[in-house]
Structure 1
Amino acid sequence: MRAIVIEQFGVLPTIQDVPTPEPAAGGVVLRVEATGLCRSDWHGWQGHDSDIVLPHVPGHELAGTITAVGEGVNGWQVGDRVTTPFICACGQCEQCKEGNHQVCPNQLQPGFNYWGSFAEYVALPFAEVNLVRMPESLDFDTAAGLGCRFATSFRAVHQVGRVEAGENVVIFGCGGVGLSAVMIAAALGARVIAVDTNPAALELARSYGATDTVQAAPETVQAIRDLTGGGAHVTMDALGSNEIVQQALLALRPRGRHLQVGLLPSGVRLDVSRLIGQELEWLGSHGMAAHTYPEMLDLVASGNLRPADLITRTIGLDEVPEALDALTAGTPAGVTVIRP
């Protein structure tokens, strides 16, 4: 099969012919119909993830068709249209038994722990726990974007952040995660303020439900406090930046909630005294379990959520190295989907 292969961190990957994977016991192999290009893939390419062993095939947001089923897999067969969270949980540990698959200590992530979906085929472990059957009305491009960015934002905003109608919610960073969060928070009835350096991204944020937009600048915090009458109820760092974290915490009103979704490979500085004195909440959110997808899929089917609108570009494998390299300069507006 053809696949994008990283041989050195930070050096452009190449397209190579590599062996097609075989299904492990309990797992399946999919023909990749669509896969998303995510900033997490860029972090992996740069060497920010210690789980990656070279040579490596990235890619963790995916949808496809089952082509092979491993021993011991029940309920799934060749030809099924499926997607999956980027966190493949074991289903057997204490956290999994409590329903917290997204923090499973035995989790395996395609594109990080093993070869991923920037290829014509990909293997998935623990199939019975992690596969999500796609409704007939859901296309592969849209489904691919659900597994990381959209599902991550849905759980962060709705389940972890507890966003309610009428609250002021500020989303910092309008890439795929941030724009998903804008759409979801707006659908929940929140007043959404989007912050980014890119005017095109802010324009998209308005079309997805942002009431106000702020172009990132030294005056960002004051602009937010003015718009919200004293500070936001919820802020979210959808990009991953120490500078954003500082602005997000300063933009909160007392007893506000901060959602950290963007990765922070270089660490972060926290004013713990402010967290204590203002009774602020710092909330980490990491993915979403497969068994919690039905609520999100129902909202997509009803038209209340429109993840297909977030897709702004579709490319083939040949264009992936250049697209991955472009992330070095910043996150483009919208979601890029790869069709291998």
Structure 2
Amino acid sequence: MRAVVFDAFGADPEVREVPAPEPPPGGAVIRVEATGLCRSDWHGWQGHDPDIRVLPHVPGHELAGVVEAVGPGVASWRPGDRVTVPFVCACGSCAACLSGDQQVCERQTQPGFTRWGSFAEYVAVDHADVNLVRLPGEMSFSTAASLGCRFATSYRAVTAVGRVRPDEWVVVHGCGGVGLSAVMIAAAAGARVVAVDVSAGALELARKFGAVACVGAEPSGAEPPGAGAFEAGPPGAGPSRAGAPRAEPSRAEPSGAGVEVAERVRELTSGGAHVSIDALGSPETCVASIESLRRRGRHVQIGLLPGLTPLPMGRVIGYELELLGSHGMAAHAYPAMLEAVASGALRPDALVTRSIGLEEAGAALASIGSVPGVTMILPPRR
């Protein structure tokens, strides 16, 4: 098969012929029809993720396609089925999975990180009966792939973790793919959404997707283009797609633009947001998000952070704030989201601002963040 491959972290990815995968026991091989380009792919390419241990490597984890083959033990899927898959492939049998929390599976695997990913014509997926999601017949592969990790993660973060209700104020810090998804989903839930970003183009899209107000933030200059931030998990914690060198501790209070952002949000929302979402993942956006909340507000952390990020805990205690994390969404939770997409209440397809081929994927990976919205990669058909 043809795939996007890098031989060293940070080295130029190239498209070349590599062996096609075989279906693992209990798993499946998917013919990739569309795959999203995500900030997490950039981190993997840069070597920030400890789950990528063997090179060469094929990135990519937001995908939709057709089942090509299934391994022994698969009961629910056959070649020809149209499917997508969460970025967390759960084992189905650990304590977390048995409680219905497959998004934090203790033995999770992830295409593009623990194994070769979907910037290719074919990709292997573990535990097909647990992880594959059947697509509605009218849903395009690009729309399904745009659900990926970003939209599905935001959907659960807004509806289940953040518990957003109609007429509440919701502020979204960082309007990349995750943040724009959160803006759209919160607006569809009837919330009044404030969007925060350094990019005028991103804020323009946020308004299009339902933000009632936008706040421009000054770039901190602390991160390279396309960078989010990752947290290194403890030894033995298992795959987390969350490994970066430990960062130096930052100040626990927002400074400069962070102070101004929080103050502006509190002004716009008459005292602070009910729910604030850090969709980027930096010490500055995390602290500004907490500072943006009113009393008894709820902070939801989606963007992954560097280790040892000090937080304004005095405000957390004094205001009785909730600090919540959100990590993906299990396959069994997809039906409600798919119904909202089918009804037109949610339009993840509108987040896709460009489509490219495999040959362009390497350059797009290197420049991620330079184009607002979601970039979709369409592998060639043979």
Residue 123 and residue 75 in structure 1: after superposition, are their counterparts in 2 closer, same or farther (change >3 A)?
same
2:145 matches 1:149: no
Unaligned runs of 5+ in 2: 219-256
Name the residue aligned to 1:322. 363
Q: CA deviation at 1:332?
A: 3.1
Report Cα offsets for 1:63-111 as digits up to 9, x if no partner. 0111111111012111110001000001111111110000000110000
Matched residue type, 1:16: R
Instruction: Spell out the pairing of 1:95-110 with structure 2 (5 A cutoff).
Output: 95-110=96-111
Name the residue aligned to 1:58. 59
Q: CA deviation at 1:267?
A: 4.5
Name the residue aligned to 2:70. 69
Matched residue type, 2:352: I
Matched position secondary structure for 1:91: coil
Name the residue aligned to 1:83. 84
Name the residue aligned to 2:232. none
2:236 matches 1:197: no
Say whether the 8 Å CA contact 2:282–2:306 is kept in structure 1: no
Name the residue aligned to 2:227. none
Say whether the 8 Å CA contact 1:175–1:332 is kept in structure 2: no
Q: Give the structure-2-normalised TM-score.
A: 0.87
Say whether the 8 Å CA contact 1:175–1:331 is kept in structure 2: no
2:321 matches 1:280: yes
2:30 matches 1:30: yes
- Give the whole-Å Cα distance in 2 for the aligned partners of 1:331 and 1:294: 33
Write out the 4+ residue segments of structure 1 that deviate beyond 6 Å after TM superposition: none
- Give the whole-Å Cα distance in 1 for the aligned partners of 2:310 and 2:42: 23
Matched residue type, 1:192: V
Q: CA deviation at 1:17?
A: 1.1
Name the residue aligned to 2:373. 334
Say whether the 8 Å CA contact 1:36–1:337 is kept in structure 2: yes
Identity across the alignment (%): 63
2:99 matches 1:130: no
Q: CA deviation at 1:278?
A: 1.5
Report Cα offsets for 1:250-270 as digits up to 9, x if no partner. 111111111111111354221
Matched position secondary structure for 1:21: coil
- Give the whole-Å Cα distance in 2 for the aligned partners of 1:59 and 1:209: 29
Say whether the 8 Å CA contact 2:187–2:210 is kept in structure 1: yes
Name the residue aligned to 2:350. 309
Name the residue aligned to 2:176. 175
- Give the whole-Å Cα distance in 2 for the aligned partners of 1:98 and 1:266: 28
- Give the whole-Å Cα distance in 2 for the aligned partners of 1:119 and 1:239: 27
Higher mean alpha-carbon deviation, 36-45 vs 215-224, is at 215-224
Report Cα offsets for 1:101-151 as digits up to 9, x if no partner. 000001100001010001110000100000000001110001001121110
Pairwise CA RMSD: 1.0
Matched position secondary structure for 1:117: coil
Name the residue aligned to 1:215. 216
The total of aligned residue pairs comes to 338
Q: CA deviation at 1:331?
A: 5.5
- Give the whole-Å Cα distance in 2 for the aligned partners of 1:114 and 1:122: 9
Report Cα offsets for 1:298-328 as digits up to 9, x if no partner. 111111111111110100111111111112x
Name the residue aligned to 2:17. 17
- Give the whole-Å Cα distance in 2 for the aligned partners of 1:267 and 1:20: 41
Q: Give the structure-1-normalised TM-score.
A: 0.97
Matched position secondary structure for 2:296: strand
- Give the whole-Å Cα distance in 2 for the aligned partners of 1:16 and 1:265: 34
Matched position secondary structure for 1:88: coil
